[in-house]
């Protein structure tokens, strides 16, 4: 009864009356009333981003999808200079998995309000969702000189897309940026090492491997550097990495590759008993 009365007052009243009715509708969790009242509110003045998100949620819960999107489209069309209105429409389309429509809206947002690194990330995600990964990568590459250390979302997506598209130099650049700011995980670090190794950058592989082990304590990272050092005949550096590994011996104890590398190092030092012992450990671990 009270909500119905306040809603009737709100339909012909002020923004204050609408807000009173909204408070009650929220308390009663009446999503249909919330949607109606916020729609009324939008006719009085532009909605803030939180209110627009609330309207989208209320419409999604109380109206057919087409009706909900049509309401948001009408709201945005009536406010050609209100970026919040257009962002709200794009977000609703994304959440409804209408990626083609969302991409069209994102493109219109860039045309109306200008682009940014973040807007490029959003458009690239949509293109990838539409199986246009090459276009998504090109979108991000265009703003590679504008992205800064704080743009972690950009570098993460660029790294993933470049890896997917086998654009190795771009992937090295993106994963390297994430490495520099400490925003890289184990998978990213492994990929960076693999790409750097494929590019023939032995010094960088060893440096990244040792640093990665120190940061992430993932034995696979140090093993890559150890293997690269052995391949390149960098026995002194392999010895240093073995010494580092011995500080966490249990992490390497079950790795045949680790013991084979230790055997090769011992052979290089003409330490035959140590080499034989390491080979035996490798065989014992491999047979389990």
- Interval 38-50 mean pLDDT: 85
Q: Domains of the chain: which residue ranges?
A: 201-287
Tell me how far apart the alpha carbons of residues 223 and 180 are, in angstroms, rounded to a whole number.
21
pTM for this predicted structure: 0.83
pLDDT by residue (tens digit) across 106-132?
999 999 999 999 999 999 999 999 999
- Specify the pLDDT at position 288: 62
Tell me how far apart the alpha carbons of residues 212 and 189 are, in angstroms, rounded to a whole number.
7
- Say if residues 155 and 123 touch (Cβ distance below 8 Å): no
Q: Among all chains, which residue has been given the structure tokens 């998504």?
A: 136
Q: Please name the residue ranges forming H helices in the chain.
A: 2-12, 15-28, 31-44, 49-62, 65-77, 83-95, 99-113, 117-129, 133-141, 152-164, 168-180, 186-198, 202-216, 219-231, 235-245, 249-252, 256-268, 272-286
Q: Considering only CA atoms, which of 243, 275, 273, 278 is closest in space to residue 259?
A: 278
- pLDDT at residue 5 tops 50: no
pLDDT by residue (tens digit) across 158-204?
999 999 999 999 999 999 999 999 999 999 999 999 999 999 999 99
Q: Which residue has the higher pLDDT, 187 or 43?
A: 187
């Amino acid at each position: 009864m009270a909500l119905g009365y306040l809603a009737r007052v709100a339909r012909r009243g002020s923004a204050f009356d609408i807000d009173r009715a909204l408070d009650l509708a929220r308390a009663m969790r009446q999503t249909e009333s919330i949607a109606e009242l916020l729609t009324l509110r939008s006719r009085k003045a532009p909605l803030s981003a939180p209110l627009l998100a609330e309207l989208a949620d209320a419409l999604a819960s109380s109206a057919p999808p087409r009706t909900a999107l049509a309401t948001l489209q009408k709201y945005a069309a009536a406010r050609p200079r209100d970026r919040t209105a257009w962002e709200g429409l794009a977000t609703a389309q994304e959440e409804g998995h209408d990626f083609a429509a969302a991409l069209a809206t994102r493109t219109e947002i860039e045309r109306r309000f200008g682009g940014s690194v973040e807007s490029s990330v959003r458009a690239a995600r949509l293109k990838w969702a539409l199986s246009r990964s090459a276009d998504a990568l090109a979108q991000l590459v265009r703003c590679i000189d504008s992205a800064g250390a704080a743009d972690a979302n950009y570098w993460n997506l660029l790294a993933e897309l470049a890896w997917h598209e086998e654009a190795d130099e771009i992937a090295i650049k993106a994963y390297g940026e994430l490495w520099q700011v400490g925003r890289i995980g184990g998978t990213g670090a492994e990929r960076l090492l693999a790409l750097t190794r494929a590019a023939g950058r032995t010094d960088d592989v060893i440096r990244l491997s040792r640093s990665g082990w120190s940061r992430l304590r993932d034995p696979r990272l140090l093993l890559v550097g150890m293997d690269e050092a052995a391949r390149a005949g960098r026995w002194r550096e392999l010895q240093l990495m073995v010494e580092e590994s011995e500080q966490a011996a249990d992490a390497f104890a079950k790795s045949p590759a680790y013991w084979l590398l230790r055997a090769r190092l011992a052979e290089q030092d003409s330490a035959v008993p140590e080499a034989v012992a390491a080979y035996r450990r490798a065989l014992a671990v491999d047979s389990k």
